[in-house]
Amino acid sequence: MLQLKGLRAVITGAGSGIGLATAETFVREGALVAALDPKPPTARPGIVPIVCDVTDDAGVEAAVAAAAREWDGIDVLVNNAGIGADGTVEDNEIDEWRRVFDVNVFGMVRMSKACLPHLRRSPHPAVVNTASIVSWTGLPRRACYGASKGAVYALTLAMAADCAGDRIRVNCVCPGTVDTPWVGRLLDAADDPAAARARLVARQPIGRLGTAEEIAVAIAYLASPAAGYVTGSALQIDGGTHGFQVPGGVAR
Ligand code: NAD
């Protein structure tokens, strides 16, 4: 269905959550995956784990070279690695902004620079970036994280324009609140995790959180030749959060 058979993909942040689900979805659909992460998943048929921190210039170059060697080329780059930050502009120190942008934005720049020469040689080249609902929608206490994900959206559009001449498609997904270990950590840090989870669910018009697999399938679609006419797009997978609000939470 997703037409991923034989595609050679590099996925960052593939050790957990959305990235891990994406690696598993790609392999299920016949792709060959280089799973990059500081703590990558274990090797299995179709998945080659490669230790990689996207803030490390030399480490990124080496990881991309290893991925290209392993599968004899690269067709798809999924720039998914990301970290969060809680706070207003007054709360986060500048060093925190640098740390978040180094992973969420500059990490994508490093990975894209390293992968583009390989993508130019692919018959079906594509880049998919993981942006966020906060690229579009102001949520409280997400100033630094939201600014970084807004930059991911703008980077997606700029790269789509720059790469169109090479037929390289560049798109992003904008997940809402997805039930990954990331959200688990946020909830664990709350005074009352069950109440915090109920508040998160209440702000979802669709009445529940998303799953990592639901984001993975969207990434797989954007990466696949089936989306051959899609570039410079942002696919919202957020239970309706960006488009409308249900006053007082879920109306049921
Ligand atoms: P997660 O914490 O489960 O997984 C993130 C992965 O990124 C981890 O495996 C981690 O090791 C890796 N990572 C962190 N820093 C890295 C670095 N410097 N280099 C390489 N890898 C690094 O989180 P997730 O929820 O799966 O988030 C994945 C992406 O989805 C992130 O970009 C995040 O901003 C985005 N996102 C998540 C949600 C959500 O609700 N979970 C919503 C919108 C967007």
Q: Is 142 helix (H, G, I), strand (E, B) or coil?
A: strand
CB atoms under 10 Å from CB of 231, counted, come to: 21
Rounded distance, CA 63 to CA 206, Å?
39
For 246, counting Cβ atoms within 10 Å of its Cβ (0-12 exposed, 13-18 middle, 19+ buried), the class is middle
Domain 8-175+211-236: top CATH class = alpha beta
Q: Mind listing the pLDDT tens digit for each residue in 36-71?
A: 999 999 999 999 999 999 999 999 999 999 999 999
Tokens of 98: 């640098």
Q: Which of 10, 11, 12, 16 for a ligand 1 pocket mutation test, highest count of atoms within 8 Å of Cβ?
A: 16
For the CA of 14, the nearest atom of ligand 1? 9
> Which protein residues touch ligand 1 with a CB less than 6 Å away?
12-13, 15-19, 37-39, 52-55, 80-83, 103, 107, 130, 132, 175, 177-178, 180-183
- Write down the pTM of the prediction: 0.97
For the chain, residues classed under CATH 3.40.50.720 are 8-175+211-236
- Per-residue pLDDT band for 248 (boundaries 50, 70, 90) equals low
Q: How far does the centroid of ligand 1 lie from the alpha carbon of residue 181, in Å?
A: 9
Mean pLDDT, the chain, rounded, equals 96
Q: What is the pLDDT of residue 243?
A: 87
Sequence-separated (6 or more) residues with CB below 8 Å from residue 99: 83
Which band of pLDDT confidence, cut at 50, 70 and 90, is reported for residue 251? very low
Atom of ligand 1 nearest to the CA of 54: 19
Please report the pLDDT score of residue 147 as a whole number.
98
Residue 82 CA to ligand 1 centre (angstroms) = 4
User: What's the start-to-end Cα distance of the chain, in Å?
Assistant: 35
Q: What is the mean pLDDT of residues 152-171?
A: 98
Q: Is the pLDDT of residue 189 over 60?
A: yes
Task: Flag whether pLDDT at 250 surpasses 50.
Answer: yes
Active-site annotation, residues: 145
Atom of ligand 1 nearest to the CA of 15: 9
